[in-house]
Amino acid sequence: MKLWEGRFGKQAAQTTNDFNSSIAADSRMFREDIAGSLAHAAMLARQGIIAPEDGQAIRAGLEGILAQLESGALAVDPDAEDIHTFVEAELTSRIGDAGKRLHTGRSRNDQVATDIRLYLRGQCGEVSAAIERLIAALEAKRQEYPDAIMPGYTHLQRAQPILFPQHLQAYQEMLRRDLGRIADAAQRMNECPLGAGALAGTGYPIDREYTAKALGFDRVMQNTLDGVSDRDFCLELAAALSIVMVHLSRLSEELILWCSWEFRYIELDDAYTTGSSIMPQKKNPDLAELVRGKSGRVFGNLMGLLTVMKGLPLAYNKDMQEDKDAIFGAFGTVLLCLGAMVPMVETMRVNRENMRRAAAEGFLNATDCADYLVGRGLPFREAYKAVGRLVARCAAEGFTLETLPLERYREACGLFEDDIYAFVALEACVARRQH
């Protein structure tokens, strides 16, 4: 059954039906579609637009359909045009003419706009909970290695000594901002378009505030054209999810580097790595690499949505059917990647000795060595040059600043005393940076 058949003199071609169908994407919204229909039917009966007995029949019929879909006793018809058509046709087959009255005062345009907001509201909660789990996994790893010293990097060159927990905390802060962006987008999305109809509302005396409250929305959308024709909430969520993937990809890149033989800062658990078909020694960080690679999917989803929406005149256009594959795909990919990242972080082992050795060998305490001279009255730029000469000499002769003989220090600058060794110790360098 097509909801729009009355105008047409012949059946649509099969290719038209196949091309026009969205059931593969929107069938996952069956709960939201039924919830919206239950609220709409209750409002129609409350307003006297349909008879009370019709409202009761619709409610019983929809609840039965929902129960059977959830139990698996009823399957969504893949040949249905969309989930809205399927539910209404199934309802009508069960309760007769009362089912045909459900769509009074409503269009598929405001119906789908409502459904997708309800569905994405739940998806926001799932992604946020998954991000919280990753933050907790990073926190647990910070607590496991509270005093592990590692090199901090700029330009991927060793720069200054830091604590491993500080490095992990940087990602926690990024992820907390991600939570804020998703929450902000979800709050702006929580407006109810139901009642906007196709574009201009309806002549029936509906109560939009009632349906909005029944569905848990904060408010109704003020402009009916806006209610059915914009998907900026999808764009905003796709942008927020893209930033999540940027952060997951950056963390993945570091894990990939750290578990390489060149770094050996961490070892990933066997359960979250794979091997080679030809090289028996290999232990590959494939999950981290896939997270890094899947970021492109989410970025592509955002770009696809932007491209769909950029030239559309008001109000609804069929182009907007493309919104679901893109935004559902973005959420699905992010959830998949978070599901992989959490146990990978939870089970990774840290080689604190290798981290500290890299920090010691990279002259990461050179800035502190210069600060030592500044504390004895030497201008910073002169101190900088003196320590630069010391570093060059250490590199040439195989010393570190912690092992360089005091006479070599004094050859560079007479202000050095034997307390320089305590001052440039990595633990002291880290301890001074408490702010």
Q: Residue 4's pLDDT is what?
A: 45
- For residues 151-171, average pLDDT: 95
Residue 315 lies in a domain: yes
Q: How high is the mean pLDDT of the chain?
A: 94
Taking each helix axis from N to C end, the angle separating 232-258 and 164-189, rounded to the nearest 10 degrees, works out to: 170
416 CB-near residues (< 8 Å, 6+ apart)? 372, 373, 406, 409, 410
Tens digit of each residue's pLDDT (9 = 90 or more) over 318-356: 999 999 999 999 999 999 999 999 999 999 999 999 999
Q: For residues 127 and 334, is the Cβ–Cβ distance under 8 A? A: yes
Domain finish residue from 82, 104, 126 = 104
Structure tokens at 394: 């250490």
pLDDT at 435: 73
Quick one: what percent of the chain has pLDDT higher than 90?
91
Q: Are residues 35 and 164 in the same domain?
A: no
Classify 378 as helix, strand or coil.
coil
Q: Which of 94-103, 204-213, 278-287, 291-300 has the lowest mean pLDDT?
A: 278-287
CA 353, distance to chain mean position in Å, is: 34
CA distance 206 to 48: 9
What confidence score (pLDDT) does residue 434 get? 78
Same domain, 141 and 59: no
Shared-domain flag, residues 309 and 411: no
- Confidence category of residue 9, pLDDT binned at 50, 70, 90: low
Structural domain span for residue 176: 116-191+222-352
Question: Could you tell me if residue 216 is inside a domain?
Answer: no
The answer to whether position 83 is within a domain reads: yes
DSSP 82: S
| C-alpha angle 361-365-371 in degrees, rounded to nearest 5 | 160
Query: Does one domain contain both 330 and 232?
Result: yes
Q: Percent of the chain scored above 70 by pLDDT?
A: 95
Does a cis peptide bond (omega within 30 degrees of 0) precede residue 51?
A: no
Among all residues, which ones are annotated catalytic?
A: 155, 276
Residues 99 and 121 in one domain: no
CB 10 within 8 A of CB 60: no
Residue pLDDT, tens place only, 209-243: 999 999 999 999 999 999 999 999 999 999 999 99
For residue 399, what is the domain's CATH number? 1.10.40.30
Task: Give the pLDDT of residue 6.
Answer: 59
The answer to whether 95 and 87 have CB atoms below 8 angstroms apart is no
121 and 100 inside one domain:
no
Q: Are residues 127 and 165 in the same domain?
A: yes
Do 332 and 385 lie in a common domain? no
Distance of CA 185 to the CA centre of its chain: 12
User: Same structural domain for residues 162 and 253?
Assistant: yes
The pLDDT, as a whole number, for residue 80 is: 93
Q: How many domains does the chain have?
A: 3
pLDDT of residue 433: 83
SS (H, E, C) 86-131: HHHHHHHHHHCHHHHCCCCCCCHHHHHHHHHHHHHHHHHHHHHHHH
Q: Are 138 and 345 in contact (CB under 8 A)?
A: yes
- Indicate whether 278 and 345 sit together in one domain: yes
| Exposed / middle / buried, residue 106 (Cβ in 10 Å: 0-12, 13-18, 19+) | buried
Burial classification of residue 305, based on how many CB atoms lie within 10 Å of its CB (0-12 exposed, 13-18 middle, 19 or more buried): buried
Indicate the residue among 104, 133, 149 that finishes a domain.
104
* Per-residue pLDDT band at 18 (split at 50, 70, 90): low
